[in-house]
Structure 1
Amino acid sequence: MNHKKVIITGTSRGIGFELAQILADEGHQVLALSRNHTPIKNLKHPNIHSFSFNLNEENDLDQLDKFVNEQWQGSVDILIHNAGSIINKPFAEITAQELMSVYQTNVFGVFQLNQRLMGKMPKEGHVVTISSMGGVQGSMKFPGLTAYSSSKSAVINLTEILAEEYKETGPSFNVLALGAVQTEMLEEAFPGYEAPNSAHEMAQYIADFSLTGNKFYNGKMLQVSKSTP
């Protein structure tokens, strides 16, 4: 297997935590980024590198640049935007600060990280953004998720635009719109709800797609859900 250099955001728990382990166990070099990197650091996996990282801090982005340039000879094969923020609250009660917080992680962070890494990814590279079925036009919507779902719609559109802008030089851009997955974030937003898929199961799917999906897709939104929109 041709081992890859992979960056994953949002790796402190849930899908991102599982995803980092799966790819590292397969022999890939993984840079696992999250504000709280203690859980992933405690794994002491030889193929996982980590440091505390805030998507919206220039100093942290600079630290990322330094790591890639010095440790990975300035190249990244796969970028997985998994970090996410959610708030379940009636529309009329969401504050500007809460709205901005969700968008800072789910949209602006994706935008800024892409900008930082475009010059470091080869034509055959792959950028995978994790969105949600809630961001898909025509899908079932849920009250209380106006900030979250609208942000997830934004990154679907962003993926399509970037695929067009970089179609001659690469990398490829695709987005996965996930249905409900049993994670800590889901439990916080919908206490007591039981999802049909575990974090590990979804992480395995994302890992496989990140390695091979760009051979078949570019600028595509794939719905990863058992239910009909």
Structure 2
Amino acid sequence: MSKNIIITGTSRGIGFELVKQFAKAGHHVLALSRNEKTVQDLKLQNVTAFSFDLSDVEAYKKVEDFITKNWQQVDVLINNAGALINKPFSELTMKDYETVYKTNVFGVAELTRIVLPFMKINSHVVTISSMGGVQGSLKFPGLAAYSSSKGAVITLTELLAEEYKDSGIAFNVLALGAVQTEMLEEAFPGYQAPTTAQEMADYIFNFALKGQKYYNGKLLQVSNSTP
């Protein structure tokens, strides 16, 4: 049965691969990113893409209007968009933290808040975090703003699961290890990750459609590295 799926951060990397997978499987997709052109160029029948900036307060109305007019219901929300700044801690400014947190934390919270009224029992909110946000995991120096923001959405997910536990909507968070994406290459030129964007998209695709049967309020560490 076809589902209505919203994905953020779809212009490249994991989000871009997810759009293609959900469309191929016959689902309806709303693809949100600052650069909508890459998805629009795919010319996929059941995909709508428009420009959306998570740090723009006005942009959320556009999403709300689209759902109201076209779908009325959302089955899966994948909070995948991320902002990353790689700088030594001594050089990070308050503005840097604001930039990262506006997308990675405030944006996740606000989009989830906007979409929740359209979700029913068995719906699933999946937020993409990072192993850098998990206590006791290996940390990359230079990612104080990024990794701390990814830790914040893990706690946010646990809180939402508790607050909405009677609604039948599941909230889970995936902490990904290093994935070979453009964002990683920009932050760490030359670093070779063990997983491709397509491989990770395969995993997230299945988890987004089925994970709510088995998990709620859970952090799953999707990484084969130790610690």
How high is the TM-score relative to the length of structure 2? 0.98
Query: How many Å apart are 1:57 and its aligned residue?
Result: 2.0
Q: Distance in 2 between matches of 1:59 and 1:189?
A: 29
Unaligned runs of 5+ in 2: none
Tell me the amino acid that sits aligned with residue 174 of structure 1: N
Q: Is 1:60 aligned to residue 66 of structure 2?
A: no
Query: How many Å apart are 1:96 and its aligned residue?
Result: 1.1
Q: Distance in 2 between matches of 1:103 and 1:220?
A: 22
* 1:97 alignment partner in structure 2: 95
Query: How many residues align structurally?
Result: 227
Q: Distance in 2 between matches of 1:196 and 1:16?
A: 18
* 1:41 alignment partner in structure 2: 40
Unaligned runs of 5+ in 1: none
Query: How many Å apart are 1:118 and its aligned residue?
Result: 1.1
Identity of matched residues, %: 61
Tell me the amino acid that sits aligned with residue 116 of structure 1: I
The 5 A counterparts of 1:182-197 are 182-197=180-195
* 1:9 alignment partner in structure 2: 8
Query: How many Å apart are 1:170 and its aligned residue?
Result: 3.0
Tell me the amino acid that sits aligned with residue 166 of structure 2: E
Q: Is 1:18 aligned to residue 29 of structure 2?
A: no
Q: Distance in 2 between matches of 1:219 and 1:228?
A: 24
Q: Is 1:69 aligned to residue 68 of structure 2?
A: yes
Query: How many Å apart are 1:171 and its aligned residue?
Result: 1.2
Query: How many Å apart are 1:142 and its aligned residue?
Result: 1.8
* 1:133 alignment partner in structure 2: 131
Tell me the amino acid that sits aligned with residue 150 of structure 1: S
How high is the TM-score relative to the length of structure 1? 0.98
Query: How many Å apart are 1:59 and its aligned residue?
Result: 2.5
Tell me the amino acid that sits aligned with residue 52 of structure 2: F
CA offset digits 1:17-58 (Å, max 9, x no partner): 000100110000000000100000100000110110011323
Query: How many Å apart are 1:103 and its aligned residue?
Result: 0.3
* 2:219 alignment partner in structure 1: 221
2:151 pairs with 136, 149, 153, which one?
Answer: 153
Measured on the aligned residues, the alpha-carbon RMSD in Å equals 0.7
CA offset digits 1:200-219 (Å, max 9, x no partner): 11001100000000000000
Q: Distance in 1 between matches of 2:65 and 2:215?
A: 31
CA offset digits 1:126-173 (Å, max 9, x no partner): 000000000001111121110000000000000000001000013100
